[in-house]
Amino acid sequence: MRLPERVLVTEVAPRDGLQNEATHLTTAQKAELIARLAAAGLRDIEATSFVHPRWIPQLADAEDLLPMLSHPAGVRYTVLIPNLRGYERAAPLGPDEVTLVCSASESHNRANLNRSTAESLAGLADVAARARADGVPLRGAISTAFWCPFEGRVPTERVVEVARAYAGMGAAEVSLADTLGTADPWHVVTLVPLIREATGLPVSLHLHDTAGMALACVVAALEVGVDHFDAALGGLGGCPYAPGAAGNLATEDLVFMLHRMGVETGVDEDRLLDAARFVRDAVGHPLHSRRLALADVDTLPPGA
Amino acid sequence: MRLPERVLVTEVAPRDGLQNEATHLTTAQKAELIARLAAAGLRDIEATSFVHPRWIPQLADAEDLLPMLSHPAGVRYTVLIPNLRGYERAAPLGPDEVTLVCSASESHNRANLNRSTAESLAGLADVAARARADGVPLRGAISTAFWCPFEGRVPTERVVEVARAYAGMGAAEVSLADTLGTADPWHVVTLVPLIREATGLPVSLHLHDTAGMALACVVAALEVGVDHFDAALGGLGGCPYAPGAAGNLATEDLVFMLHRMGVETGVDEDRLLDAARFVRDAVGHPLHSRRLALADVDTLPPGA
């Protein structure tokens, strides 16, 4: 089995995790959450999204949040940008990185971003040009890279097309998102190398855990050399425009497995669990987190 | 990624699944459950256990159950045997296979079987001699092959010792049980080849899903050539003497993943889900089954 020495975990709870919550956290609570995530050793944090507040009111405070964040050494804050208007709001605040987003499937892109993928990509090319001029690194995220809630299995060519567009825009990495959470390990090992080949870029994975296969997909992804995963504290999340999608792969479940496999992440598990308890109190409902459940009932054997 | 064409799934819900349930199913309900499992295409079913009824009253009807089972072509019923007394009860009923059981960790064996592992193995050697004379195939199951709830990580030498004892008794296969459900994929890929080497026997896996890593461990196991897994319908189960252990890997979750990966199991998913609904009604509580949850809310995309 092929294992990297170290995996980079991008924490997406402040963005993907909170965007679907009925309870809107205050900006101060979000800043506190992000500070706790950084204190737990996470070095790459998707802090918020510059989508129109009408669509995602949970993240309407993006402009207020970014200036509240402290900048510990080595911590990078990325923000999700769907279009030029979003970039224009974000740019003056100096994000460390910009994550572009577009779906591979037409109908999910329309549901999620209210335009065709071609229109999205044209707009993102403008964003990318501006970001390059501003010296801001780019990551290209492909939603519904595996399954679309409306169209079923997404043809590989569609994913390749969006990935190539990102490569042409100067993205440093392509993130394949299993928005619905039904990707299987074989789908992962077949798709990832194709995207890498088509773009020449490193590929990271953004997994949801709807079918309970997210960790199995991580193992498969490690096999094909992936060493960068998104995850959300407490397994928060779910796309408002992907009916039935469950939360993200929980950061603490991912980190627990990787550490047990001897793979470093730089994350302190105890601090991470403290942060998970904080966010559980803030959102006011139980989390989809195996690791937190185990910690709460103290059932791990000695040394585990 | 290395994948077998076909995986054998041993269904253990009638034994491991029911032994921990507060609601005791009637013998007729168990026979109905087993008939539904066979009708769903499962060809290897652990029907019951011949432990002392004082310890596992849920399975006290073993002698009554076996004669009630029909024998569709290709279906094999195995029974769990902890000692000679158990074999003497089972033998007249003509089980197709006998699964011997002993823990790798001393303290779990004492909690579970009320004797030392050396005493267990001595008794099982007598069972094996009788079974060989009777022409009944043997499978050797090692409980707590990964972690012990009392002792922590179980030293490999202990697992090798029990596995070698089974090989000496003429077992056709060694089953490594993650009784506690905290094994990680790396633990799997390191332990399985060692046991295969030490015994010359094929190795199968019996996984619980306490830490949410069971399917990830399946992927790892496929990588090292394992093509035989235990699973329990509805994720039922948990060991009464392994505090904190969650249920078994759910058969429908395992089969769903394998089928999506292009691996055959011979199991009909719809019939399996019907059987899961039947057992859910019988035990009277929700099941730990992602696949059933997805089916119940009908959230899978077209073609998934």
pLDDT at B281: 96
Residue B113 has pLDDT above 90, yes or no: no
Residue A112 has pLDDT above 80, yes or no: yes
Of B211, B244, B297, nearest to A244 by CB-CB distance is B297
B222-243 pLDDT, tens digit per residue, is 999 999 999 999 999 976 666 6
Looking at beta carbons, which residues of chain B come within 8 Å of A182?
Answer: 300-301, 304
Report domain extents, chain A: 8-297
- Best probe of the A interface among B213, B219, B256, B297, by most A CBs < 10 A, is B219
- What's the pLDDT band for A240 if we cut at 50, 70, 90? low
Residue A174, strand partner residues:
A140, A203
Asked if B211 lies within 8 A of A302 by C-beta distance, the reply is no
d(C-alpha B88, C-alpha B294), whole Å: 44
B157-193 pLDDT, tens digit per residue, is 999 999 999 999 999 999 999 999 999 999 999 999 9
Residue B89's nearest CA partner among B117, B115, B127, B121 is B127
**Residues near B103 by beta carbon (within 8 Å), at least 6 away in sequence:** B109, B112, B113, B117, B120, B142, B143, B144, B148, B162, B179
Q: What's the token pair of residue B81?
A: 């045997």
Residue A245 has pLDDT above 90, yes or no: no
Q: What is the DSSP letter of B181?
A: S
Looking at beta carbons, which residues of chain A come within 8 Å of B152?
Answer: 301-304
Let me know: does B278 contact B40? Beta carbons within 8 Å.
no
Let me know: does A152 contact B303? Beta carbons within 8 Å.
yes
Q: What is the DSSP letter of B97?
A: E
Mean pLDDT, rounded, of chain A:
95
Domain topology for A8-297: TIM Barrel (3.20.20)
**Residues near A147 by beta carbon (within 8 Å), at least 6 away in sequence:** A153, A154, A178, A179, A180, A182, A183, B301, B304
Residue A6 has pLDDT above 80, yes or no: yes
Residue B215's nearest CA partner among B175, B173, B185 is B185
List the catalytic residues of B: 239
Let me know: does A246 contact A288? Beta carbons within 8 Å.
yes
Query: What is the C-alpha radius of gyration for chain A, rounded to an integer number of angstroms?
Result: 18
The helices-and-strands tally (H runs, E runs) of chain B is 11, 10
A256-301 pLDDT, tens digit per residue, is 999 999 999 999 999 999 999 999 999 999 898 999 988 887 777 7
Q: What's the token pair of residue A215?
A: 């960790």
Let me know: does A9 contact A251? Beta carbons within 8 Å.
yes
Amino acid at B44: D
B25-47 pLDDT, tens digit per residue, is 999 999 999 999 999 999 999 99
Q: What is the DSSP letter of B264?
A: B
Mean pLDDT, rounded, of chain B:
95
Measured torsion, CA atoms of residues B116, B51, B47, B65, in degrees rounded to the nearest 10: 170
SS3 at position B47: strand
Smallest CA–CA distance, residue A212 to chain B, in Å, is 6
Would the pTM count as exceeding 0.90? yes
Tokens 């179980």 identify what position? B154
- What's the pLDDT band for B302 if we cut at 50, 70, 90? confident
d(C-alpha B144, C-alpha B278), whole Å: 30
User: How would DSSP label each residue in chain A?
Assistant: ----SB-EEEE-IIIIITTT-SSPPPHHHHHHHHHHHHHTT--EEEEEE-S-TTT-GGGTTHHHHGGG----TT-EEEEEE-SHHHHHHHGGG--SEEEEEEESSHHHHHHHHSS-HHHHHHHHHHHHHHHHHHT--EEEEEETSSEETTTEEPPHHHHHHHHHHHHHTT-SEEEEEETTS---HHHHHHHHHHHHHHHSS-EEEEEB-TTS-HHHHHHHHHHTT--EEEEBGGG----TTSTT---BPBHHHHHHHHHHTT-B----HHHHHHHHHHHHHHHTS----HHHHHHHHT-PPTT-
Neighbours of A54 (CB within 10 A): 7
pLDDT at A45: 98
pLDDT more than 70, % of chain A? 97
Smallest CA–CA distance, residue B98 to chain A, in Å, is 30
Tokens 């949801």 identify what position? A208
Of A182, A224, A291, nearest to B304 by CB-CB distance is A182
Burial of B207 (C-beta count, 10 Å sphere; 0-12/13-18/19+): buried
Q: What is the mean pLDDT of residues B251-280?
A: 98
Q: What's the token pair of residue B88?
A: 């003497």
Q: What is the mean pLDDT of residues A56-77?
A: 96
Of A148, A261, A298, nearest to B301 by CB-CB distance is A148
Q: What is the mean pLDDT of residues A57-85?
A: 96
ipTM of the complex: 0.94
d(C-alpha A218, C-alpha A213), whole Å: 9
Looking at beta carbons, which residues of chain B come within 8 Å of A185?
Answer: 1, 219, 257, 261
Q: What is the mean pLDDT of residues B87-110?
A: 96
Of A216, A262, A291, nearest to B215 by CB-CB distance is A216
Looking at beta carbons, which residues of chain A come within 8 Å of B1?
Answer: 185-186, 189, 220, 223-224
- Best probe of the B interface among A143, A151, A213, by most B CBs < 10 A, is A213
